[in-house]
């Protein structure tokens, strides 16, 4: 299912290091399974951004059980709930500070340091974004230059962002996992997607499933909404509390 363009083939030949951002979700799992078969092993690195208490328990164990490379775990100096409390607002689809601060930045820091350690100058930052996920994502390009990480001059570094499974459907992703002799993370028994346990982009079903298995964390979210006077969701133009939104009372 993975087709390597001439450009990607050329980057492999040049010794580029492929950094696979692995969240433990189905897309990351399928992406790694496909890349492992076509990228030289010593040019592949797995990176996981640890989200702390808001991450599903067991995600990191699941990643390690389904990869054949060491898992490089990175983490921001801040926490998600601490960030929300300080800002006084939850992230939104148009302002996803959680993604930039807790995932992108720590992974970028690791890529810079690891390239230097290896003495390499070309990197490919691989993420499991797919066109079928949303209209906004469908407009992305599969391979782009990462201008934040690319530098020239005395120190040279060229970094690309690549979406290896951009054209795959959800059914394709699960089939890749099956073909690899693996299973997706257990939460997919009900979840449609996997990120933070209570993600602003999660479906109502995902949120209810999260509350069912993580009641103490759910109670923290509900309490924080009340503390900062800002809710995670709205109904029309009206703010709606997490308890009302899910129909589940916090214990």
- pLDDT at residue 236, as a whole number: 85
Residue 212 maps to a domain: no
DSSP labels for 153-215?
SSS-BEEEEE-TTTT--HHHHHHHHHHTT----GGGGT-S--SBTT-TTS-HHHHHHHHHH-H
Could you tell me if residue 41 is inside a domain? Answer: yes
CATH of the domain at 162: 3.40.50.620
For the chain, the domain total comes to 1
Residue 42 Cα to chain centre, angstroms:
23
User: Does residue 183 sit within a domain?
Assistant: yes
Cβ neighbors of 66 (< 8 A, separation 6 or more) are 29, 32, 33, 180, 182
Which domain covers residue 34, as residue numbers?
Answer: 6-188
Q: Within a domain: residue 172?
A: yes
Q: Is residue 43 part of a domain?
A: yes
- The answer to whether residue 14 scores a pLDDT higher than 90 is yes
Tell me the two tokens of residue 182. Answer: 């693996």
Establish if 234 belongs to a structural domain.
Answer: no
Terminal CA-to-CA distance of the chain, rounded, Å? 46
The per-residue pLDDT for range 28-46, each reduced to its tens digit, is 999 999 999 999 999 999 9
Q: What pTM value is reported for the model?
A: 0.94
For tokens 């960030």, name the residue. 83
Could you give the 3-state DSSP secondary structure of residue 239?
A: strand
Report yes or no on 196 lying in a domain.
no
Across-strand partners of 196? 55
Per-residue pLDDT reduced to its tens digit, 173-199: 999 999 999 999 999 999 999 989 999
- C-beta separation of 149 from 111 below 8 A: yes
Res 93 pLDDT > 90? no
Residues present in the chain in total: 251
> Is position 45 within any domain?
yes
Q: What is the mean pLDDT of residues 91-119?
A: 92
pLDDT at 134 (0 to 100): 87
Each residue of 36-80: pLDDT tens digit? 999 999 999 999 999 999 999 999 999 999 999 999 999 999 999
């Amino acid at each position: 299912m993975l087709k390597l363009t001439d450009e990607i083939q050329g980057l492999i030949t040049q010794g580029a290091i492929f950094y696979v951002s692995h969240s433990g979700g189905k897309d990351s799992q399928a992406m790694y399974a496909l890349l492992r078969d076509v990228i030289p092993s010593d040019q592949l690195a797995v990176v996981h951004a640890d989200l702390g208490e808001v991450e599903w328990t067991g995600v990191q164990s699941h990643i390690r059980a389904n990869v054949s490379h060491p898992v490089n775990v990175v983490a921001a100096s801040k926490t998600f709930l601490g960030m929300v409390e300080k800002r006084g607002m939850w992230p939104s689809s148009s302002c996803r500070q959680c993604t930039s601060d807790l995932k992108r930045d720590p992974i970028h820091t690791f890529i810079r340091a690891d390239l230097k350690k290896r003495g390499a100058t070309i990197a490919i930052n691989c993420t499991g974004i797919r066109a079928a996920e949303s209209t906004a994502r469908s407009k992305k390009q599969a391979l782009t230059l990462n201008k934040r990480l690319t530098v020239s001059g005395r120190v040279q570094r060229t970094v690309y962002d690549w979406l290896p499974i951009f054209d795959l459907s959800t059914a394709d992703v699960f089939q890749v996992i099956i073909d690899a002799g693996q299973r997706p993370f257990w939460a997919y028994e009900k979840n449609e997607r996997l990120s933070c346990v209570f993600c602003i982009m999660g479906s109502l079903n995902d949120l209810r499933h999260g509350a069912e298995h993580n009641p103490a964390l759910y109670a923290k979210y509900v309490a924080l909404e009340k503390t900062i006077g800002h809710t995670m969701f709205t109904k029309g133009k009206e703010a709606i509390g997490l308890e009302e939104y899910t129909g589940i009372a916090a214990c």
